[in-house]
A = this chain, B = another copy of it.
Amino acid sequence: MSPDLRGLADLDRVIHEPARLVIATILSVAESADFLFLQRETGLTKGNLSFHLTKLEEAGYAAIEKTYKGKIPLTLARLTPAGLKAYKDYRASVKTLFEK
Q: Which residues of A contact B (CB under 8 A)?
A: 1-2, 5-6, 8-11, 16, 18-19, 21-22, 25-26, 29, 41-43, 91, 94, 97-98, 100
Cross-interface CB contact of A5 among B1, B5, B26, cutoff 8 Å: B26
A46 to B100, CA, bound (A): 24
Q: List 16 A-B contacts (CB under 8 A).
A: A1-B41, A5-B22, A5-B25, A5-B26, A5-B43, A6-B42, A6-B43, A8-B22, A9-B19, A9-B43, A16-B16, A22-B97, A25-B97, A25-B98, A25-B100, A26-B100
Q: Contacts of A43 on B, CB cut-off 8 Å?
A: 5-6, 9
Most chain B beta carbons < 10 A, residue from A22, A29, A94: A22
